[in-house]
Amino acid sequence: MRVLWVALDWGTTNLSAYVIGKDNQILQRLQSDKGMSQLDPEKFEPALLDGIGPWLRNDEITPVIACGMIGAQQGWLEAPYAVAPCLPVTAESVVTVPTKDPRISVQIVPGVCQRAPDDVMRGEETQIAGYLADHHGFGGVFCLPGKHSKWVRVADGQIRNFTTFMTGEMFGLLSNQSILRHCVGGSEWDDAAFVKSVEAAVRDPAGLTAKLFSLRPQALLNGTPSGTLKATLSGFLIGTELAAARQIWDRRDIVIVGDRENARLYKTALATLGKAALTYDSDSAIVQGLRPIAELAHCEFQVT
Amino acid sequence: MRVLWVALDWGTTNLSAYVIGKDNQILQRLQSDKGMSQLDPEKFEPALLDGIGPWLRNDEITPVIACGMIGAQQGWLEAPYAVAPCLPVTAESVVTVPTKDPRISVQIVPGVCQRAPDDVMRGEETQIAGYLADHHGFGGVFCLPGKHSKWVRVADGQIRNFTTFMTGEMFGLLSNQSILRHCVGGSEWDDAAFVKSVEAAVRDPAGLTAKLFSLRPQALLNGTPSGTLKATLSGFLIGTELAAARQIWDRRDIVIVGDRENARLYKTALATLGKAALTYDSDSAIVQGLRPIAELAHCEFQVT
């Protein structure tokens, strides 16, 4: 099967590569822990070739289009932020990375920043572009859950403004590194506890840091199971986020772009507040978002 | 100088030992990282003797009175919680630890728990007892800042109810382990930024997790100095705590019992909200709180 181009979501801690064939079919999805922060500058190209090397052909140049933290100042090559309000991805703002291997041409899509209030994204703009490519004229709010979840208002094809919450990273820190790690371990999960804690957080979002500690006495005094407490921790954090983001999503259409589990949790949490939301797969969104850049690159290479 | 007894504040990650002489003078304060969680059960006594060994005499038994996580289920010997409302420390509830060294007699003061809402403390009850020993008849609220800061309502010498906030632990996790570690390092500090962020948090305590992320774009886009961002991080967390705890402290006298730096921050933050608070040194509070137990122990040993 012939590879036409490669899409990369290259973040701080992970690299996802999507090998794309005819009709934009994903031939393979490669996953590695060679995130931007783990690599010295001269290691980016070898890390990339480690993954996609077997797919490359010697008789042509394969376009590799990347988004994410790889375009940060400390990344492979800085792709300076577009400033909102702006289109999520444009061909003019893409930067081309000098590479040694003649079989690839690497381009990086920049992130988007916002001033007053200051905020930044790298990668999410591509997911938004991907959804919009499939749904021309959509106006509303994107919820992009993850380590740093983002709520992004979109109108007329443009990112108007956005807000980032540390929800996912806090869940990771609290469940793996804090005193709560003793009581939220394991793979169990309790959906009812999740819903209950979303409701509790929405009733009193200011009380988050006291709610978080409360998991410990619940374990110590009542022996509450870890699956219940893990779902409660998640519900407290996501519920607080929904409460704080309410003025962004209230009375607007919401599309959640994320992995299956995150999308399910946010959809459930929003439903708890009586709000419907669509979900859209983040892998498809990345590929659709980078595809126009790849098609431009491909035209060039076909011509030469 | 003759040691009369030893006070221990033995927490999860640290051990503080206060060697006490005549007139309850602190002859030495020993500090070690041999916290409860770092030690196997058979290591507690050696860890204690490592520190205080040089002070012990062969011709008499020195009472060692401890509070803190050392009395937890995973500690040296469990001292079951007293249940609030209750006196902070009573002689009847103290447990005696079997020890091998004939020169010491070790007793542990239990913590206090609360049901519905569930909460727990170990160590703070002793600090409260210490302040009350010096200030009979005090009624009001104690603020005990730290890794897990506590707000404790006291009336008629009793702990009535309390709430714990994860403020200190979250500050540690966020400044050392999260993405924010890149922008809040160093020893600089900015008092004006602290006050400003306390005010911002009090205006919108529900927005904490978005406020936390906002430090990163401030560093990336504006080059805001790390001392300013560190103080801002602290102010966001403490301000959110003060907002959530307002119904506890509003219209009541507040005593902050903590180390000098924490006490100063909470006093400043409360002053920002127009609320005065007294401060009281936590070392003195520990020693004063354990002293009645030591005196009882000493009487016994003097008699035998």
A4-45, pLDDT tens digit by residue? 999 999 999 999 999 999 988 999 999 999 999 989 989 999
Residue with tokens 């797969």: A281
Q: Does A165 touch chain B (CB under 8 A)?
A: yes
Assigned token pair, B89:
């420390």
Residue B304: the pLDDT is: 47
Sign of CA dihedral B74, B79, B82, B83: positive
Round to whole Å and give the CA distance between A257 and B266: 41
> Using one digit for the tens of pLDDT, what is the confidence trace for A182-239?
999 999 999 999 999 999 999 999 999 999 999 999 999 999 999 999 999 999 999 9
Round to whole Å and give the CA distance between B205 and B201: 5
Answer yes or no: are the C-beta atoms of B8 and B16 closer than 8 Å: yes
- A residues 132-151 lying closer than 8 A (beta carbon) to B: 148
> Using one digit for the tens of pLDDT, what is the confidence trace for A229-249?
999 999 999 999 999 999 999
Q: Does A208 touch chain B (CB under 8 A)?
A: yes
Residue A298: the pLDDT is: 79
Per CB-CB distance under 8 Å, the chain A contacts of B173 are: 173-174, 177-178
Assigned token pair, B293:
């137990």
Q: Do B164 and A210 touch (CB under 8 A)?
A: yes
A152 versus A301: the higher-pLDDT residue is: A152
Q: Which of B118, B207, B241 sits opposite A209 (nearest CB)?
A: B241
- Closest residue in chain A to residue B216, using alpha carbons only: A119
Q: Do A221 and B166 touch (CB under 8 A)?
A: no
Q: Do B217 and A167 touch (CB under 8 A)?
A: no
Q: Does B221 touch chain A (CB under 8 A)?
A: yes
Round to whole Å and give the CA distance between A257 and A145: 7
Closest CA relative to residue A45, chosen from A92, A102, A83: A102
Per CB-CB distance under 8 Å, the chain A contacts of B166 are: 178, 209-210, 212-213
Q: Do A179 and B148 touch (CB under 8 A)?
A: yes
- A residues 110-129 lying closer than 8 A (beta carbon) to B: 113-115, 117-120
Q: Is B222 exposed, middle or buried (0-12, 13-18, 19+ CB in 10 A)?
A: exposed
Round to whole Å and give the CA distance between A168 and B123: 32
- Closest residue in chain A to residue B222, using alpha carbons only: A118
Is the confidence at residue A302, as pLDDT, over 70? no
Round to whole Å and give the CA distance between A271 and B2: 68
Q: Which of B119, B165, B243 sits opposite A217 (nearest CB)?
A: B119
Q: Which of A178, A210, A217 sits opposite B173 (nearest CB)?
A: A178
Per CB-CB distance under 8 Å, the chain B contacts of A179 are: 12, 147-148, 169
Contacts with A260 (C-beta within 8 Å, 6 or more apart), sequence order: A281
> Using one digit for the tens of pLDDT, what is the confidence trace for A49-97?
999 999 999 999 999 999 999 999 999 999 999 999 999 999 999 999 9
Contacts with A276 (C-beta within 8 Å, 6 or more apart), sequence order: A254, A270
- Closest residue in chain B to residue A115, using alpha carbons only: B221
Report the pLDDT averaged over residues A255-262: 96
Round to whole Å and give the CA distance between A227 and A132: 37
- A residues 2-31 lying closer than 8 A (beta carbon) to B: 12
Residue A304: the pLDDT is: 47
Q: Which of B151, B166, B171 to mutate to test the interface with A (most CBs of A within 10 A)?
A: B166
Model pTM?
Answer: 0.95
Residue B271 main-chain phi, psi, to 5 deg? -60, -35
3-state DSSP assignment of residue A126: helix
Spell out the alpha helix ranges (H) of chain A: 44-52, 124-134, 167-176, 191-203, 208-222, 226-244, 246-249, 260-272, 282-303
Residue A161: the pLDDT is: 97
Beta strands in B33-123 (DSSP E): 62-67, 82-83, 95-97, 104-108, 112-114, 119-121
Per-residue DSSP letter, A86: B
Per CB-CB distance under 8 Å, the chain B contacts of A244 are: 204, 206-210
pLDDT mean across residues, chain A: 96
Residue with tokens 């060697």: B19
Q: Does A178 touch chain B (CB under 8 A)?
A: yes
Contacts with A162 (C-beta within 8 Å, 6 or more apart), sequence order: A84, A112, A114, A119, A121, A150, A151, A152, A153
Round to whole Å and give the CA distance between B247 and A9: 47
Long-range CB pairs of A50-57 (<8 Å, 24+ gap) are: A51/A15, A51/A17, A52/A6, A52/A17, A52/A19, A52/A104, A55/A3, A55/A6, A55/A19, A55/A27, A55/A28, A56/A3, A56/A101, A56/A103, A56/A104, A57/A2, A57/A3, A57/A103
ipTM over 0.95: no
Q: Do A218 and B179 touch (CB under 8 A)?
A: no
Assigned token pair, B272:
């920002």
Q: What is the 3-state secondary structure (H, E, C) of B164-203?
A: EECHHHHHHHHHHCCHHHHCCCCCCCCHHHHHHHHHHHHH
- Closest residue in chain A to residue B74, using alpha carbons only: A220
pLDDT values of chain B reduced to their tens digit, one per residue, 304 residues: 899 999 999 999 999 999 999 988 999 999 999 999 989 989 999 999 999 999 999 999 999 999 999 999 999 999 999 999 999 999 999 999 999 999 999 999 999 999 999 999 999 999 999 999 999 999 999 999 999 999 999 999 999 999 999 999 999 999 999 999 999 999 999 999 999 999 999 999 999 999 999 999 999 999 999 999 999 999 999 999 999 999 999 999 999 999 999 999 999 999 999 999 999 999 999 999 999 999 998 777 665 4
Round to whole Å and give the CA distance between B208 and B212: 6
Q: Which of B118, B121, B175, B211 to mutate to test the interface with A (most CBs of A within 10 A)?
A: B118
- Closest residue in chain A to residue B120, using alpha carbons only: A217
Q: Do A119 and B165 touch (CB under 8 A)?
A: no
Assigned token pair, B186:
């160093």
> Using one digit for the tens of pLDDT, what is the confidence trace for A143-177?
999 999 999 999 999 999 999 999 999 999 999 99
Pairing of strands B254-258, B140-144: parallel
Residue A24: the pLDDT is: 87
User: Chains A and B: how many Cβ contacts under 8 Å?
Assistant: 125
A152 to each of A139, A159, A249, A257, A286, how far by Cα in Å?
A: 11, 7, 9, 11, 16
Q: Does A220 touch chain B (CB under 8 A)?
A: yes
Give strand pairing partners of B80: none
Q: Do B120 and A210 touch (CB under 8 A)?
A: no
Is the confidence at residue A125, as pLDDT, over 50? yes
Per-residue DSSP letter, A148: T
**CA-based nearest distance B89→chain A, Å:** 20
Q: DSSP letters of A193-232?
A: HHHHHHHHHHH-GGGHHHHHHHHHHHHHHH---HHHHHHH
Residue with tokens 């999503």: A249
> Using one digit for the tens of pLDDT, what is the confidence trace for B255-265?
999 999 999 99
Q: Is A299 exposed, middle or buried (0-12, 13-18, 19+ CB in 10 A)?
A: exposed
Q: DSSP letters of A222-260?
A: H---HHHHHHHHHHHHHHHHHHHTHHHHTTS-EEEEE-H
Q: DSSP letters of B220-234?
A: HHH---HHHHHHHHH
Name the residue type at position A180.
L
Per-residue DSSP letter, A277: -
Per CB-CB distance under 8 Å, the chain B contacts of A220 are: 73, 113, 120
Q: How far apart are the first and last CA of chain A?
A: 23
**CA-based nearest distance B172→chain A, Å:** 10
**CA-based nearest distance A120→chain B, Å:** 6
Per CB-CB distance under 8 Å, the chain B contacts of A204 are: 244
